[in-house]
Amino acid sequence: MTTSGELPFDVESVRRDFPILARRLSNGAPLAYLDTAASSQKPRVVIDKVVECYEQYNANVHRGFHEFTDRMTTELENARATVQRFIGAKEVDEIVFTSGTTMSLNTVAHGWARKFLKPGDEVLVNPMEHHANLVPWQLAAKATGAVLKYIPLTDDGRLDLSHLDQLLTARTKMVAVTAMSNVLGTINPISELAQRAHDVGALICVDGAQSVPHGSTNVRALNIDFLAFSGHKLYGPTGIGVLWARKELLESMDPLLTGGNMVNEVFEQTSTWKPAPAKFEAGTIPFVEAVALGTAIDYVGMLGVDRISAYEHELSAYAHKKIGEIPSVRVLGPKVEYKGAILSFVVDEINPDDVHSHDLSAFYERKGVAVRVGHHCTMPLHRLLGLTSSTRASLAFYNTKGEVDCLAEAIMDSKNVFGAEAKRRRSDARKARAGKTEQPDVAPPTRGTS
Ligand code: C6P
């Protein structure tokens, strides 16, 4: 396995830690995996840890008294302590294991917002939020009579804080914001927002799904109140995520899920809860995944979070230059210095009304590049941009400049193929309108995004 050592970052050596990166597609070609924002690949140590758990000490946690359950429980609680150190939390009991960012944010919107919001209270969101940090707040607002307000975006896709004084008032009770947009790549000024929220007595809930895997996060230095992130984007397994909140907040909140393991006492009509984190971990949690998330965090720590960020930033700058120079490619979001390693774009001559996003995705895949095409669970943002979909390349520390070059070539090819097709359709339509009944030989695709 790679060891941290000194700069420069040895990407080829790091790639050898990820077995899947050596795989070939069924056509024998390599795949440039540029879709880490959707889910990251897993290093061998994480895969091995999952196997070790199942082969050597698999048993449910916090239940029973035998060697396997003791060992698994110890591994789980060690992983919790690893998460605590990784994000700079004050206490290990502030780390709640959930199924992912979505569940973490729903836990806050359900357990905090529905309990404490009153009619007329305000939750401040913004159009770049992923649906996971928008829809739960919509439902909480509907249930309580609170209102969602939006921080506008600047033309280049950053939060426009110029009217924040008007937006943040005594009625604001929560600012829900992503630390990094999964489409624009924008990195938001979280500690400034935390300060401004606290100044009016509001709390701040940070969606760290995209930021936590790619840069250092310290919840106390940021002075935030809630943080949500997913294991599968952090080189760990699927099905595991984290909700962090200050202890007093966790104590004040209601649980989202109830059932086994989270209760203190159960009577015929009522029950009492254990303290956090157990209060929010009803039923059998994905304990093997949690243990392996600890391993993933150790792996990231061993590479060095700051070295990872520096390498990804350099790669992202290369990608922005290379892709940004392709004629008629419009890169979404601000300048690269305000962004994480995400590059979303549209190609002007490929009209999404003409080309189904799945066809475009499949085209890139045939060219050996895995990207995501669609609205990326950010419909309000795409509507604001006047788009129904975009193509997104998301980079990680195991990606290379060569892979970015493959993407650039695939974009050039896509312009030729889909651009020509769109031109032909337009010409066919013109001819049909002019009474010449030549029919297009390609059936018009249905419009679609994912
Ligand atoms: N974004 C993407 O391709 P889950 O699915 O719970 O692990 O994460 C939800 C989520 C929340 N916030 C942000 C900023 C996200 O990017 C995501 C997941 C993936 O962009 C899947 S839609």
Asked if 406 contacts 323 with a C-beta cutoff of 8 angstroms, the reply is: no
Buried b / exposed e over 63-73, threshold 16 CB at 10 Å, is eeeeeebebbb
Q: CA separation (Å) from 100 to 177, 272, 371?
A: 17, 25, 22
Residue at 185 is within a domain: yes
Residue 210 has pLDDT above 50, yes or no: yes
**Average pLDDT of the segment spanning 248-270:** 97
The CATH number given to whatever domain includes residue 289 is 3.40.640.10
310 lines ligand 1 (CB under 6 A): no
Residue 35 has pLDDT above 90, yes or no: yes
16 and 53 part of one domain: no
pLDDT band at 421 (very low <50, low <70, confident <90, very high): confident
**Average pLDDT of the segment spanning 257-282:** 98
376 lines ligand 1 (CB under 6 A): yes
pLDDT for residue 6: 56
Least confident residue range of 108-117, 319-328, 333-342, 428-437: 428-437
pLDDT for residue 429: 80
Residue at 4 is within a domain: no
312 and 234 part of one domain: no
pLDDT band at 7 (very low <50, low <70, confident <90, very high): low
**Average pLDDT of the segment spanning 223-245:** 98
Is 377 among the catalytic positions? Answer: yes
Please give the distance, rounded to the nearest whole angstrom, from the Cα atom of residue 67 to the centre of ligand 1: 37
250 and 183 part of one domain: yes
236 and 317 part of one domain: no
290 and 425 part of one domain: no
Residue 375 has pLDDT above 90, yes or no: yes
Asked if 137 contacts 107 with a C-beta cutoff of 8 angstroms, the reply is: no
331 and 396 part of one domain: yes
Please give the distance, rounded to the nearest whole angstrom, from the Cα atom of residue 288 to the centre of ligand 1: 22
Residue at 449 is within a domain: no
Average pLDDT, the chain: 93
**Average pLDDT of the segment spanning 273-278:** 98
User: Can you tell me which atom of ligand 1 is nearest the CA of 38?
Assistant: 3
pLDDT for residue 155: 98
Nearest-10 Cα torsion for 48, 27, 349, 446: -80
Please give the distance, rounded to the nearest whole angstrom, from the Cα atom of residue 285 to the centre of ligand 1: 20
Residue at 444 is within a domain: no
Token pair for residue 347? 């190609």
Report how many domains make up the chain: 2
392 lines ligand 1 (CB under 6 A): no
316 lines ligand 1 (CB under 6 A): no
pLDDT for residue 442: 43
User: Active-site residue among 53, 205, 377, 406?
Assistant: 377
- Cα–Cα dist 102/207, whole Å: 9
**Average pLDDT of the segment spanning 352-357:** 78
214 and 316 part of one domain: no
- Cα–Cα dist 83/444, whole Å: 50
pLDDT for residue 444: 40
Q: Whose CA is nearest to atom 21 of ligand 1?
A: 38
User: Exposed, middle or buried: residue 51 (CB in 10 Å: 0-12, 13-18, 19+)?
Assistant: exposed
Residue at 81 is within a domain: yes
Domain stops at, among 258, 287, 302 = 302
User: Exposed, middle or buried: residue 8 (CB in 10 Å: 0-12, 13-18, 19+)?
Assistant: exposed
**Average pLDDT of the segment spanning 157-169:** 97
pLDDT for residue 436: 61
239 lines ligand 1 (CB under 6 A): no
pLDDT digits over 103-143, tens only? 999 999 999 999 999 999 999 999 999 999 999 999 999 99
Residue at 35 is within a domain: no
Q: What is the domain range of residue 329?
A: 11-30+304-433
pLDDT for residue 449: 40
200 and 311 part of one domain: no
User: Can you tell me which atom of ligand 1 is nearest the CA of 377?
Assistant: 22
Please give the distance, rounded to the nearest whole angstrom, from the Cα atom of residue 223 to the centre of ligand 1: 23
Domain stops at, among 302, 332, 362 = 302
Report the residue among 40, 98, 99, 101 best suited for mutation to probe ligand 1: largest number of ligand atoms under 8 A from its CB.
101
222 and 173 part of one domain: yes
Residue 354 has pLDDT above 90, yes or no: no
pLDDT band at 216 (very low <50, low <70, confident <90, very high): very high
253 and 350 part of one domain: no
Domain stops at, among 236, 271, 302 = 302
| 296: enclosing H helix or E strand | helix 287-303
How many Cβ atoms are within 10 Å of 41's Cβ, its own excluded? 17
Residue 434 has pLDDT above 90, yes or no: no
**Average pLDDT of the segment spanning 27-41:** 95
Residue 400 has pLDDT above 60, yes or no: yes
Residue at 279 is within a domain: yes
Residue 5 has pLDDT above 90, yes or no: no
pLDDT for residue 238: 98
Instruction: Give the whole-number percent of the chain exceeding pLDDT 70.
Output: 95
54 and 162 part of one domain: yes
pLDDT for residue 1: 54
Residue at 161 is within a domain: yes
Least confident residue range of 17-21, 71-75, 180-184, 347-351: 347-351
The CATH number given to whatever domain includes residue 17 is 3.90.1150.10
Which has the closest alpha carbon to 307: 397, 186, 212?
Answer: 397
pLDDT digits over 88-101, tens only? 999 999 999 999 99
297 and 316 part of one domain: no
Please give the distance, rounded to the nearest whole angstrom, from the Cα atom of residue 168 to the centre of ligand 1: 27
Report the residue among 40, 108, 182, 343 best suited for mutation to probe ligand 1: largest number of ligand atoms under 8 A from its CB.
182
